[in-house]
């Protein structure tokens, strides 16, 4: 099977193949969005449809090697370029953070945090909420969120294994998005429990981050595709999941209020073995 047919089988819409880097594409189930991605390296490639797949799947050519010397040379250069881009993105993230000011932001207000102040970067007339991303204590990039909730990472940055940590003094709690993390923080404070919240930015990366840390719980999104719950189960950790399809913990928090949300999460927290029960603040 050629690569284009393999990508089409998994729902990706590709007009022309761009090699050597991750490329976002529309999908058959979301043709107006870029909900798919692929990375083509000539004789091997990876594709992922975010709506149906928690991780990329690999394609390998079933033909004899027909790569030209020029293609192979370009591929080797691309690998070096990726390393350079990662370094550049890390430096840019640090520069952006130095330009930020702690302010309120429309995205936070829309998610129920009217008085919350976080780093905001004003660029080209836009006010972007900046979420620092670190891996092994080093800043590798950041997520930028606009007024309407549009999100993007810096070009070339490392995302695998990176997270945004909120406090680091108690029970590890892993989630996907910033708003979910803020809701978790609110209910943990209401429960007077210590916490270390890891915002991981995607379900697959939540699995990557949580595997390196002992204990803790997963707060999963109840995706229609069930990706969030599948990932939570694969971690082997206790997990919380909304009773309503399409909700994450922030949606649940806004819908039921702080008391019910705090009691619901506390029930999952208390599913720990007794020796790893979270401590009160």
Lowest model confidence (mean pLDDT) among 72-81, 178-187, 202-211, 240-249: 72-81
List of residues 6+ apart from 7 with CB closer than 8 A: 14, 25, 36, 38, 45, 47, 59
Q: So what's the pLDDT on residue 50? A: 86
Is the pLDDT at 169 greater than 90, yes or no? no
Query: Whole-model pTM?
Result: 0.74
Q: pLDDT band at 13, cuts 50/70/90?
A: very high
If you average pLDDT over every residue of the chain, what do you get?
A: 89
Say whether 141 sits in a helix, a strand or coil. Answer: strand
Per-residue DSSP letter, 278: P
Which regions of 35-166 does DSSP assign to beta strands (E)? 36-40, 44-49, 57-60, 101-103, 118-123, 126-135, 138-145, 151-153, 164-166
pLDDT bucket at 154, cuts 50 / 70 / 90: very high
At residue 274, the pLDDT reads: 45
Closest CA to 278 of 190, 202, 171, 164: 171
166 forms beta bridges with 197
Q: Which residue has the higher pLDDT, 99 or 60?
A: 99
Of 276 and 103, more confident: 103
**276 — pLDDT class (breaks 50, 70, 90):** very low
Mean pLDDT of 133-147: 94
Distances (CA, A) of 166 to 110, 199, 218: 20, 8, 15
Average pLDDT over residues 102-113: 97
Q: Please write the tens of the pLDDT for every residue from 229-259.
A: 999 999 999 999 999 999 999 999 999 999 9
């Amino acid at each position: 099977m050629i690569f284009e047919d393999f990508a089409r089988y998994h729902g990706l819409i590709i007009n022309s193949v761009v090699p050597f880097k991750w490329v976002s594409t529309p999908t058959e189930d979301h043709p107006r969005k870029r909900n798919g991605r692929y990375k083509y390296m000539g004789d091997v490639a990876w594709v992922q449809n975010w709506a149906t797949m928690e991780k990329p799947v690999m394609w390998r050519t079933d033909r004899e090697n027909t790569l030209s010397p020029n293609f192979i040379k370009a591929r080797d250069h691309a690998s070096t370029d990726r390393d350079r881009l990662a370094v550049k993105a890390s430096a840019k993230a640090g520069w952006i953070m130095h330009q930020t000011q702690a302010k309120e932001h429309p995205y936070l207000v829309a998610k129920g945090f009217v008085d919350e102040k976080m780093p905001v970067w004003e660029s080209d007339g836009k006010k972007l909420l900046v979420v620092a991303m670190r891996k092994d204590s080093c800043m590798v990039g950041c997520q930028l969120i606009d007024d309407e909730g549009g999100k993007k990472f810096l070009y070339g940055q490392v995302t695998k294994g990176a997270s945004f940590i909120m406090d680091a003094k108690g029970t590890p709690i892993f989630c996907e998005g910033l708003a979910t993390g803020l809701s978790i923080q609110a209910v943990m404070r209401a429960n007077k429990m210590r916490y270390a919240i890891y915002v991981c930015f995607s379900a697959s990366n939540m699995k990557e981050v949580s595997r390196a840390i002992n204990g803790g719980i997963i707060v999963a999104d109840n995706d229609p595709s069930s990706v969030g719950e599948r990932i939570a189960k694969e971690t082997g950790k206790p997990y919380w999941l909304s009773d309503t399809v399409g909700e994450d913990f922030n949606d649940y928090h806004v819908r039921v209020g702080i008391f019910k949300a705090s009691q619901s999460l506390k029930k999952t927290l208390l599913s720990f073995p007794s020796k790893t029960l979270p401590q009160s603040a």
